[in-house]
Structure 1
Amino acid sequence: MLTSREELDAELGGAARAWLDEALAEAAHEAARTGAPADAAAGTPPSAASPYASPPWELRYAAAGRHCGPEHADSVRSLLLVEARAPLASLVRLYEQGTAAERRAVLLTLHLLDLGDTALPLVEDALRTNDTRLIAAAVGPYAADRLAPHAWRHAVLKCLFTGVPVAAVARLGERARGDAELARMLHDFAAERTAAGRPVPEDLRTVLALTAPPDEDGRPGPPAAAPATTEES
Structure 2
Amino acid sequence: MTSPGAPLLTRKELDAQLGGAARAWLDEALAEAAHAAAHPDAEPSGNVYAAPSWELRYAAAGRHCGLEHADSVRVLLLIEARAGLAAATRLYEQGTAAERRAVLLVLPALDLGATALALVEDALRANDTTLIAAAVGPYAGEHLDPHNWRHAVLKCLFTGVPVDAVDQLARRSRGDAELARMLGDYAAERIAAGRPVPADLHRVLALTAPGPSAPGSTTTATGPAAPGPAAPTAPTAPSEES
TM-score (norm 2): 0.85
Out of 214, 217, 224, the position equivalent to 1:220 is 214
Out of 29, 33, 39, the position equivalent to 2:39 is 33
Alpha-carbon distance, 1:226 to partner: 4.5
> What is the letter of the counterpart of residue 70 of structure 2?
A
Alpha-carbon distance, 1:225 to partner: 3.2
What secondary structure sits across from 2:237 in the alignment? coil
Q: 1:59 to 1:232 in 2, by over 3 A?
A: farther
Paired residues of 2:163 and 2:200 also in contact (CA < 8 A): yes
**Match status 1:73 vs 2:89:** no
**Match status 1:24 vs 2:30:** yes
Paired residues of 2:183 and 2:234 also in contact (CA < 8 A): no
In the alignment, the residues of structure 2 paired with residue 134 and residue 175 of structure 1 have an alpha-carbon distance, to the nearest angstrom, of 21
Out of 156, 164, 169, the position equivalent to 2:166 is 169
| Alignment deviations for residues 86-108 of structure 1 (CA, whole Å, 9 cap, x no partner) | 01111111111111000000001
Alpha-carbon distance, 1:109 to partner: 0.5
Structure 1 partner of 2:136: 139
Out of 44, 49, 54, the position equivalent to 2:51 is 54
User: Which ranges in structure 1 are unaligned for 5 or more consecutive residues?
Assistant: 37-49
In the alignment, the residues of structure 2 paired with residue 74 and residue 101 of structure 1 have an alpha-carbon distance, to the nearest angstrom, of 8
| Alignment deviations for residues 35-88 of structure 1 (CA, whole Å, 9 cap, x no partner) | 69xxxxxxxxxxxxx972211100000000000000000000000000001011
Paired residues of 2:187 and 2:197 also in contact (CA < 8 A): yes
Structure 2 partner of 1:47: none
> What is the letter of the counterpart of residue 24 of structure 1?
L
Structure 2 partner of 1:94: 91
In the alignment, the residues of structure 1 paired with residue 128 and residue 106 of structure 2 have an alpha-carbon distance, to the nearest angstrom, of 18
What secondary structure sits across from 2:210 in the alignment? coil
What secondary structure sits across from 1:107 in the alignment? helix
Alpha-carbon distance, 1:227 to partner: 2.8
Counterparts of 1:95-174 in structure 2, within 5 Å, are 95-174=92-171
Paired residues of 1:210 and 1:223 also in contact (CA < 8 A): no
| Alignment deviations for residues 108-140 of structure 1 (CA, whole Å, 9 cap, x no partner) | 110110001110000000000111010000000
In the alignment, the residues of structure 2 paired with residue 51 and residue 30 of structure 1 have an alpha-carbon distance, to the nearest angstrom, of 18
> What is the letter of the counterpart of residue 233 of structure 2?
A
In the alignment, the residues of structure 1 paired with residue 51 and residue 58 of structure 2 have an alpha-carbon distance, to the nearest angstrom, of 11
Aligned positions, number: 217
Report which of the two has the higher share of helix: 1
TM-score (norm 1): 0.88
> What is the letter of the counterpart of residue 167 of structure 1?
D
Q: Percent identity?
A: 74
User: Which ranges in structure 2 are unaligned for 5 or more consecutive residues?
Assistant: 1-6, 216-229
Paired residues of 1:193 and 1:199 also in contact (CA < 8 A): yes
Q: Point out the more displaced range, 27-36 or 86-95.
A: 27-36
What secondary structure sits across from 2:194 in the alignment? coil
Runs (4+) of structure 1 exceeding 2 A deviation are: 218-227, 230-233
